[in-house]
Chains A and B, each alone.
Chain A
Amino acid sequence: MLSVRDINVFYGDFHVLHGVSLEVGKGELVAVIGANGHGKSTLLKAVCGLVPAADGDIVYAGENTRGRNAPQLVERGLVYVAEDRRLFPDMTVKENLLLGAFLKRGRERQDKTLAHVYELYPRLREREKQLARTLSGGESQMLALGRGLMSAPDLIAIDEPSLGLAPNLVDNMLQTIRQLKEDGMTVLLVEQSLALIEGVVDRIYMLEEGVISEDAAQSAKPAG
């Protein structure tokens, strides 16, 4: 479904990703782990067209998408959920969700997806009319993921969903992500620690100082 081959990404002169490759099969839940500042977010952003990759190939759904911008990729079902939430602070919860369905792809299924998101997170329905800036950390994370789902993704790239959440909320979040996979969505997940996602994901890549390697030992274990 997604095949990243040898991409390099720079911020100005700063070389962040060094020839990174990665494969995500249809329906898989694949994780990338690595310490702070090693380029995990940059990798997801490059895949989702939010930062440019200088070279290499990014093949998504059979098409080389390197050089495509985020709107074009969202319309093709590739959606990024940011670690720092990136909500629209002065809009209500519902307005945020509906903006997730900004493009035709999401808009066509808007009512159905909205019902699904509210079923997943009844809390968001309760807070429908509240401004996003007033949400708690946990609620913001729900809204960030809910807004991503409103775009009706085939592949959703979720960046450190555990960031700032209490341990019990992290478990819930991972269960939800697991459920998305069961429902047929492909998921590319970024997290910092192996302990958190062990047993939840199908395969794991490690990103260290912009260099990626597949964690063979982890990946050999059947997901459970």
Chain B
Amino acid sequence: MQQYIEIFIGGIAQSAVYCIMAFGLSLIYGTARILNFAHGSLYTTGAYVAWVLTVGGLGLPLVLAVPLLIVILFTAGAALERVVVRPLRSLRDWKMSTMMVTLGLAFVLDNANLLIFGPVAKPMPAFIDGTVTIFGAIISSYRLAVLGIALAVLAALEIFLQTTRFGQAVRAVSQDTQGAAQVGIDVNIIFGFTFGLSVVLTGLAGFLLAPIYLISPLGGWVLFLKAFVIVVFGGLGSTRGAVIAAFTLGLIEAFVVHHVGASWTLPIWLVTLLVVLMIRPQGLMGVWEK
């Protein structure tokens, strides 16, 4: 029993972080209908930037490092939209071209990270030590903190999207881009903003998982693949679908890792995905593409 509580809590903590990352991927797909192949490399880059800001260089305290990390990541995402995506949007096949460019960007980031930080994984100390006992199960405090932070981020995102004027504009763009322009929403600003937000989310996920997985130049790809499975499972473009999918798959992962071994995670995820897609081709809550 205790063992299952441990697995369960570990699983939902993990899920919550996957969820943040998948949310970012889904946000861009939802608004711009672009699959951002650099999402995993940006996850890794976010973790490296966090490392440099804290233990790896500047040694800033978290109260300074975290806001600075968010500003850097947001600026990078918004700049990516402005410099790379927007000029391509006048092309006829801009979605395809943009996806190819994000793939190129992924390789550039990976190699830059490799050159700058070397092939050896960087350890990142957990910013909270110790353990907590819940119903006799011993849980690391860090995992609980990660769970709390990730859930808070998700709640903030949901409140932002549902209740603020700007959040409504994001939803409007994702439901009908031309309709949004017709009512006077500046679609470019929304695209820039969602790219910024998306990079913040993936980078933050990289930061939160760094103490658990270490930071390595290609470490983001597995996470990208997972986020991709989550987003397709949940339904392309549906952030709520992504939340449900992340928790389902995260818990499956926790049990698989415990009972059969970590290398089975992705195969079992993919089988789950296949089954879901056979029953519901649009994913759990996907937007149908006309």
Give the interface SS of chain B, mostly helix, strand, loop or mixed.
Answer: helix
| Interchain nearest-CB distance for B77 vs A (Å) | 22
Is A197's beta carbon under 8 Å from chain B? no
Asked whether A87 and B179 contact (CB < 8 A) given A12-B92, A95-B168, A99-B168, the answer is yes
Distance in angstroms between the alpha carbons of A46 and B69 in the assembled complex: 42
Flag if B176 contacts A99 (CB, 8 Å): no
Provide the residues of chain A in CB contact with B169, threshold 8 Å: 102
Partner of A102, one of B92, B176, B178, B185: B185
Flag if A74 contacts B182 (CB, 8 Å): yes
Q: Which of A12, A88, A95 has the most CB of B within 10 A?
A: A88
- Within B175-196, the residues touching A (CB, 8 Å) are 175-176, 178-186
Flag if A91 contacts B184 (CB, 8 Å): no
Distance in angstroms between the alpha carbons of A151 and B181 in the assembled complex: 12
Flag if A90 contacts B175 (CB, 8 Å): yes
Is B47's beta carbon under 8 Å from chain A? no
Provide the residues of chain B in CB contact with A100, threshold 8 Å: 183
Is B171's beta carbon under 8 Å from chain A? yes
Is A103's beta carbon under 8 Å from chain B? yes
Flag if B182 contacts A82 (CB, 8 Å): yes
Interface size on A, residues (CB 8 A): 28
| Per-residue contact bits, chain A 73-98, to B (CB 8 Å; 1 contact, 0 not) | 01100011110001111110001000
Is B172's beta carbon under 8 Å from chain A? yes
| Interchain nearest-CB distance for A98 vs B (Å) | 8
Provide the residues of chain B in CB contact with A70, threshold 8 Å: 181-182, 184
Partner of A147, one of B165, B178, B181, B183: B183
Distance in angstroms between the alpha carbons of A75 and B183 in the assembled complex: 9
Which 6 pairs, one residue from A and one from B, show the smallest C-beta to C-beta distance?
A: A86-B179, A74-B184, A103-B184, A88-B175, A70-B181, A71-B184
Supply 11 A–B pairs (Cβ within 8 Å), ascending by A. Answer: A50-B178, A74-B183, A81-B182, A86-B178, A88-B171, A88-B175, A90-B171, A91-B175, A99-B172, A102-B165, A150-B183
